[in-house]
Structure 1
Amino acid sequence: MTSDSTQSDATHSGTVEEEIERLRSLIDSVRFVLFDFDGPICHLFAGLAAERVAEDQVRWLEEQGLRGLLAGGVREEPDPYVVLRAVDARSPGSDLVTELEERLTQQELSAVTSAMPTAYVDPLIRTWSAVGARLAVTTNNSPRAVGRYLASRGLTDCFAPHVYGRTHDLHLLKPHPHCVQRALDAMGADPARTLMIGDAPSDYVAARRAGVRFLGYARNDRKARPLREAGATHLVESLKPLLGVVYAVGDTKAQ
């Protein structure tokens, strides 16, 4: 297995040729690929800002007379998943958490209609699947939303049935490796031959805990900085070079 600690940040150093060679080294023996959903596959809330979803969660909780559950700056939190975690931490396993999680699921399902696909990801998924890699989605999003999105893009067959998303056990959300381990177990995957593509520190931590390789997708420095601070060292700002490498590797093996 190629260690992240020996990788250079492909986005910020070296020539294009060196970046391609690093990507080739990273994926050459990969047979299983785990995609995070919101970020690497699509921008789920492209038509409905995540901040507005978080605000809706906070407003709903306040309308229920539960303002006290939102301590420590959570009322101003722009991430709906952080709000959900905060409520679960204060009232784990409660009907309140179940209802809040279902509200978030419905918002995710609604967001699918305006979600924007990440550039180059559709051909990347199809190419990787065509050359024999086994693919899965490992995400903190609802698997129902993931399934709806994949169907809308004609990508279901590239992943089915391997979509592992949020369950009612919210303490198992990434950075816990639960969804990653579920994918590994279901596919009979060797962690040393598995790559996860994610865009958040929680993705990196989950991948490392599960013993799989990690490639960070960071389309700008705002996204790259927290990944590097978490310890991720191999990042790309576009999936285009990865697509080229996957195609070339697959073509070479077919000869």
Structure 2
Amino acid sequence: MTRPDNGRFAVPESRADRRDPAADGAADRPAPVARPAPARVDPLAGARCVLLDFDGPLCRFFAGPPGGPASLAPGFADELRTLLDELPDLRARLAPLPDPHEVYRRTTAALRHGGQPEHPVVAAMRKRLDELELAAAGATAVPTPGAAGLLARLADRGVLLGVASNNSEPAIRVFLERARLARWFEDGPVVGRPDDAGLMKPDPTVLQGALAYWPVRPDACVLVGDSPADAAAAAAAGVAFCGYHREPEKRRLLRELPGAPPAVAALAELAPAGRVAVT
């Protein structure tokens, strides 16, 4: 573009002469202010007591040994099914299940439905599951990363701590001692699998047994768990639920449960440093 000079000839327009209409008034506008990211809400804030499921939040209970299978659970389930040799139809129905707890639970339910709640296989399966869990607790189970730190932070807040689990209580206590976590539960309940498989979570019996240990209202407590059964038990007991799982898809499923509970990928996300007085 050129400009006339006294009408005689044209000279090139300089860059300084060019104006950007959109820039007019830009100097008068305030510079954008960076907004801080919203603070993450602590799902355990204000809780007087926190109950933890055992397998998941506190340990990888069925972790396999080095050089072995990634999980011992399918092998444990297979071993429980060997007790069903005299009940081949039931054994065939339970063949696809990789979870020993589900094999035990569904065996008990099927025999109860068939009018045989005291069938010898129920007691035999309970005993064998206890033995398998005790062995895993003493040898192969590994602590969940961040579990010790979370317990320490909660204890520093004055929060009451307990365990509410479908695993056997003796196995839980053996692992807590082995992993040096037992001291956090010296003044709290450790409630494990009931003798009646029908009272395992999602039934609230395990949570109610733990809550009876303290003179606190259920709505002052939070359960940290990793499964829909944990969430259902918490809801039935009137306890808030906070999900934990390492796998994104499992966290998504937990967040889509009724009430849209929170679900975290790491225990380090829970109970940041600070103290909440318990009265």
SS of the aligned residue for 1:230 comes to: coil
The aligned counterpart of 2:24 is: none
Q: Any idea what SS the aligned residue of 1:136 has?
A: strand
- Of 41, 50, 54 in structure 2, the residue corresponding to residue 33 of structure 1 is 50
More helix by share: 1
Q: CA RMSD in A?
A: 2.2
1:230 maps to a residue whose letter is L
Alignment of 1:105-254 (within 5 A): 105-112=130-137, 113-160=139-186, 161-231=188-258, 232-243=260-271, 245=272, 247=273, 249-250=274-275
Q: Is the 8 A contact 2:194 2:206 kept in 1?
A: no
Partners of 1:17 and 1:35 lie apart in 2 by 30
Q: Give the total of aligned pairs.
A: 230
Query: Is residue 2:52 matched to residue 1:49?
Result: no
Is the Cα–Cα contact under 8 Å of residues 83 and 121 in structure 2 kept in the other structure?
no
Q: How far off is 1:45 after superposition?
A: 0.7
Q: Distance in 2 between matches of 1:181 and 1:196?
A: 12
Distance 2:136 2:109 in 1: 26
Pair 1:122–1:134, CA change in 2 (3 A): same
Which residue number in structure 2 is paired with residue 10 of structure 1? none
Aligned match for 1:95, one of 97, 120, 126? 120
**What is the distance in 2 between the residues matched to 1:49 and 1:87?**
20
With 168-177 and 128-137 compared, the bigger mean Cα shift is at 128-137
Structure 2 stretches lacking a partner, 5+ long: 1-35, 65-70, 112-116
Contact 1:93–1:169 (8 Å) recurs in 2: no
More relative contact order, 1 or 2 (CA 8 Å, 6+ apart):
1
Aligned to 1:7: none
The separation in 2 between residues aligned to 1:212 and 1:170, in whole angstroms, is 22
Structure 1 residues 253, 133: CA separation in 2 closer, same or farther (over 3 Å shift)? closer
**2:87 is the counterpart of 1:66:** yes
The Cα shift of 1:253 comes to 5.9
User: In 2, distance between residues paired with 1:93 and 1:124?
Assistant: 42
Change (3 A) 1:17 1:44: farther
Query: CA 1:124/1:90 → structure 2, altered by over 3 Å: closer, same or farther?
Result: same
Q: Percent identity?
A: 34
Amino acid at match of 1:118: T
Cα distance between partner residues in 2 of 1:173 and 1:227: 19
Q: Which moved more, 1:122-131 or 1:77-86?
A: 122-131
Contact 1:70–1:86 (Cα < 8 Å) also in 2: no
TM-score, length of structure 2 as denominator length: 0.76
Alignment of 1:1-16 (within 5 A): none
